[in-house]
Structure 1
Amino acid sequence: MAKPIPEKELQAIEAVVAAHPEGIGIQEIKDELEEDVVRRTLQYRLKHLVDEGRLVKEGEKRWTKYRLPSAAEKAQAATPAEAEEEPAVELPISKESAEIQEYVRKPVRSREHAGYKRSFLDQYRPNETAYLSDKERAHLTEVGSPSSGEQAAGTYAKQILNRLLIDLSWNSSRLEGNTYSLLDTKRLIDFGEEAEGKEQLEAQMILNHKDAIEFLVGSADEIGFNRHTILNLHALLANNLLADPDATGRLRQIAVGIERSAFHPLEVPQMIEECFDQILATAEAIEDPFEQAFFVMVQLPYLQPFDDVNKRVSRLAANIPLIKANLTPLSFTDVPAKTYTEAVLGVYELNRIDLLKDVFIWAYERSASRYAAVRQSLGEPDPFRLKHRAALRDIVQNIVLERLDKKAAFGRIAAWSAQNIKAGEQDQFREIAESEVLGLHEGNFARYQIRPSEFQAWQKVWAGKTEALKNS
């Protein structure tokens, strides 16, 4: 999590805004501040003040102005507003979880300071210790196992990939305060269209999730709880979001604070590295995929091994054993952000997992129900298309990127098939590849990892050649 903003820097911004009752723009605020603040940093601080109800934002883009809230607006801000933004669902929790909520809802100054306790990690023994009971693991296995028989790692996730990309990208980003709607997210992922009035970092966060999910699903037989997977997962999720670009995919070398928490993460880089390796070795040794998933959701954020983006890494890393075992992925559908945050704080400050476990089990039940319905609506996948999914995507993508016309495209497919597909399957592969190219349109090109500009450039060549053939 990001380092807390010093209160004096926030108060300095408030003082500048207070001198302009009619409102003031970001450039004017920057000019009047005594401290020379980078514009992006100032935007972040202003957003924080608006989110806290200490400033009011009016207008959009270059017409945006900031002012102090009126008395009525202050009164409204004092009432929790999360209910309007949270999914309209009730998450059932245990008595122990309710105790955690009661504690972390106290003001930070009323909670005891807590440092990182390595004993919390050391006490866990793979396949002896268990965060999830036998009954809980059996229940999750029952609801999360699609009736598709034994298949290669990642097969199930690939079948629902288009839906998973949107669901998991949106929900995981939403839990970080991202304000994109589900429809905004779908348009961004499918067509590359950014939502109007939203900050670019929100689009970047969602697109980073998309890249990270594709990495996990596309490399299902190679990923695991090892440095290669987790460091690259962080690099993808943190891309273009960190103040220090070199910190992506690298373990933390600096001290960080947890906003609105009495928890103080480990600061010694050598100890961070040792604990990080211990978490990975422990997770890899756990046999049950659900216990693996929940273990990393508990221990990775608690360590805070990266400068930022730790919880995002843990949420996607929790899907690694599920993807590999062809179980329903966990997309955090409908999880209330406030409850999730409280659950993580319970781990940070109390080393208690009860609330996070309630969130995990409930969220998984929702995901399993959702994807069972999705898969039913999709019907049974064509096994031949599934087998050659990567090859079909690559050949169609190359035809578009190289702007081949119909004759050149079909020639490329024939030549590629002869070289790379076994004799008994070449004709079928050619037929399917040709139909995929002929069926390309503005509503489906994104599934081949093609950008809108690339598709439009190819379409001009394709349409032009087709028209010429008709007239000849």
Structure 2
Amino acid sequence: MSFYSTLNDRQKSIIDFAKKEKTFQTGDVFPVIEKEFGVLRLTVVRDLSFLEKNNILEKHGKGRSISYNISRQYLTLEKIDVDKYFSRPFSDREAKSSFNEEIFYILNNGLFSEDEIERLEKINKKYINTSNKLTKDSPVILRKEWERLIIELSWKSSEIEGNTYTLLETEALIREMRFAKGKDRAEAQMILNHKKTLDFILANKDYFKIINPDKIIKIHELLTEKIDIKRDFRDHPVGITGTIYRPLPRKKAIEDAMKKLAESLVEVANPFVKSFIILVMIAYIHPFEDGNKRTSRIIANAVLHAHDKSMLSYRNVDSVEYKKAMLLFYEQNNVSYMKEIFIQQFEFAVENYFSSGV
């Protein structure tokens, strides 16, 4: 949230105390704050009230039995020093090793602040204006801009998955069906599947206004066509490189989680938040044998497009940083770094597509 950076040192110390303690009362934290800042008990009480009202602390009980703990929402949004976090081997990081059932409680509009949503909407107005102008004045340029976005998204999304095609090789493949020399045909198929899937999304815009498990399976099928990957949800455990986190192991649990995800999305009004939740949660649930992250990226884009928001190509994101952002969510359920990437890439997309000659 935008006010986190405006917290005073005393309030930050209370937060640090709360992060170390599972639960605490005013009498536990007051001596610590009094010693450090020399303030009255009433001041600490007011600070606790402020932090509770702003969803940084959770309050329980009444009267003398009132206790506090750090809120799940704060831990989800708190900015983390990414370089410091990943400087330790994954076996040494204090990470969540299994699926967190409480994750669904934080999947709400509060993931983005009012300022962040206002910023994204303001940026999107440029996309609306420029794409509308091209639709009216130059449909040819509009079509070329969509081709460029599709090529660059197909390339980058595949690169994040380890695909070795360059951007120029991807362009030649999509435009001319020219296969790169010395490259595995499976890599070409991955890229072509992206192109086919994005064409489907553009041709079926309204289809993605509401997301359910069947639609997620449909997109995964398109993205993994002619690739040796099981189409349905998996029914066996799977590991993820570079983390101790292990997703849900069995199909029944996966089906339940995907159902809960769909139900959570119905309660989310804002398309940006809805898209972002899909981006992180499909990868987190990891319902398929393979292709989970690419499925999450493409469906997240489909939701944006369905609500007249610019799609993200991720063209200038570093693949390693993207993977770090996802690992941070897996291990800490923290969205701060992925949200930073999401907003940056949205700004990049609006500035770099559909604005030619406008």
Give TM-score scaled by structure 2 length. Answer: 0.71
> Are 1:137 and 2:117 an aligned pair?
yes
How far the C-alpha of 1:339 sits from its partner, in A, is 0.7
- What is the CA–CA distance in structure 2 between the aligned matches of 1:190 and 1:372, rounded to whole Å? 19
| Cα pair distance change 1:100/1:351, threshold 3 Å | farther
How far the C-alpha of 1:150 sits from its partner, in A, is 11
Which residue does the alignment assign to 2:249? 267
Higher relative contact order (CA 8 A, sep 6+): 2
Counterpart pick for 2:321 among 335, 339, 360: 339
> Which residue type is aligned with residue 314 of structure 1?
S
> Are 1:234 and 2:234 an aligned pair?
no
- What is the CA–CA distance in structure 2 between the aligned matches of 1:363 and 1:345, rounded to whole Å? 19
User: Where in structure 2 are the equivalents of 1:35-54 lying within 5 Å?
Assistant: none
Which residue does the alignment assign to 1:116? 99
- What is the CA–CA distance in structure 2 between the aligned matches of 1:105 and 1:236, rounded to whole Å? 37
Aligned partners of 2:328 and 2:335 also within 8 Å: yes
Counterpart pick for 2:235 among 253, 273, 284: 253
- What is the CA–CA distance in structure 2 between the aligned matches of 1:98 and 1:351, rounded to whole Å? 12
How far the C-alpha of 1:297 sits from its partner, in A, is 1.2
Per-residue CA deviation, residues 401-456 of structure 1 (Å, 9 max, x unaligned), is xxxxxxxxxxxxxxxxxxxxxxxxxxxxxxxxxxxxxxxxxxxxxxxxxxxxxxxx
Moved more, 277-286 or 297-306: 277-286
Per-residue CA deviation, residues 212-238 of structure 1 (Å, 9 max, x unaligned), is 111111111223312332111000112
Per-residue CA deviation, residues 29-66 of structure 1 (Å, 9 max, x unaligned), is xxxxxxxxxxxxxxxxxxxxxxxxxxxxxxxxxxxxxx
Aligned partners of 2:207 and 2:306 also within 8 Å: no
> Which residue type is aligned with residue 310 of structure 1?
N
Which residue does the alignment assign to 1:422? none
Gaps of at least 5 residues in structure 2 are: 1-76
> Which residue type is aligned with residue 217 of structure 2?
L
- What is the CA–CA distance in structure 2 between the aligned matches of 1:217 and 1:110, rounded to whole Å? 44
Counterpart pick for 1:196 among 160, 181, 192: 181
| Cα pair distance change 1:101/1:265, threshold 3 Å | farther
> Are 1:281 and 2:259 an aligned pair?
no
How far the C-alpha of 1:263 sits from its partner, in A, is 0.7
What SS does the aligned partner of 1:202 have?
helix
User: Where in structure 2 are the equivalents of 1:290-309 lying within 5 Å?
Assistant: 290-309=272-291
How far the C-alpha of 1:98 sits from its partner, in A, is 4.7
- What is the CA–CA distance in structure 1 between the aligned matches of 2:131 and 2:185, rounded to whole Å? 42
- What is the CA–CA distance in structure 2 between the aligned matches of 1:343 and 1:335, rounded to whole Å? 11
Moved more, 318-327 or 271-280: 318-327
Moved more, 196-205 or 98-107: 98-107
- What is the CA–CA distance in structure 1 between the aligned matches of 2:151 and 2:86, rounded to whole Å? 31
Counterpart pick for 1:107 among 81, 89, 95: 89
How far the C-alpha of 1:281 sits from its partner, in A, is 2.3
> Which residue type is aligned with residue 224 of structure 2?
A
- What is the CA–CA distance in structure 1 between the aligned matches of 2:247 and 2:303, rounded to whole Å? 27
- What is the CA–CA distance in structure 1 between the aligned matches of 2:131 and 2:352, rounded to whole Å? 22
Gaps of at least 5 residues in structure 1 are: 1-94, 380-472
How far the C-alpha of 1:100 sits from its partner, in A, is 3.6
How far the C-alpha of 1:97 sits from its partner, in A, is 4.5
Per-residue CA deviation, residues 328-386 of structure 1 (Å, 9 max, x unaligned), is 1111120001111110000001111111111111111111111143xx33x6xxxxxxx
| Cα pair distance change 1:137/1:265, threshold 3 Å | same
Which residue does the alignment assign to 2:153? 168
Aligned partners of 1:104 and 1:346 also within 8 Å: no
How far the C-alpha of 1:102 sits from its partner, in A, is 2.0
- What is the CA–CA distance in structure 1 between the aligned matches of 2:165 and 2:172, rounded to whole Å? 10
- What is the CA–CA distance in structure 2 between the aligned matches of 1:147 and 1:213, rounded to whole Å? 19
> Which residue type is aligned with residue 312 of structure 1?
R
- What is the CA–CA distance in structure 2 between the aligned matches of 1:343 and 1:353, rounded to whole Å? 8
- What is the CA–CA distance in structure 2 between the aligned matches of 1:237 and 1:166, rounded to whole Å? 15
Give TM-score scaled by structure 1 length. Answer: 0.54
- What is the CA–CA distance in structure 2 between the aligned matches of 1:167 and 1:356, rounded to whole Å? 20
- What is the CA–CA distance in structure 1 between the aligned matches of 2:142 and 2:345, rounded to whole Å? 21
> Are 1:317 and 2:299 an aligned pair?
yes
| Cα pair distance change 1:295/1:101, threshold 3 Å | farther
> Are 1:354 and 2:340 an aligned pair?
no
Per-residue CA deviation, residues 230-274 of structure 1 (Å, 9 max, x unaligned), is 1110001122333xx4x22x1121110001111111113211101
User: Where in structure 2 are the equivalents of 1:348-427 lying within 5 Å?
Assistant: 348-373=330-355, 376-377=356-357
- What is the CA–CA distance in structure 2 between the aligned matches of 1:231 and 1:309, rounded to whole Å? 11
Aligned partners of 1:225 and 1:281 also within 8 Å: no
Aligned partners of 2:99 and 2:246 also within 8 Å: yes
How far the C-alpha of 1:293 sits from its partner, in A, is 1.0
Q: Larger C-alpha radius of gyration, 1 or 2?
A: 1
Aligned partners of 1:158 and 1:217 also within 8 Å: no
Moved more, 207-216 or 160-169: 160-169
| Cα pair distance change 1:132/1:307, threshold 3 Å | same
> Are 1:177 and 2:162 an aligned pair?
yes
Aligned partners of 2:213 and 2:258 also within 8 Å: no
Aligned partners of 1:96 and 1:355 also within 8 Å: no
Identity of aligned residues (%): 31
Aligned partners of 1:131 and 1:291 also within 8 Å: yes
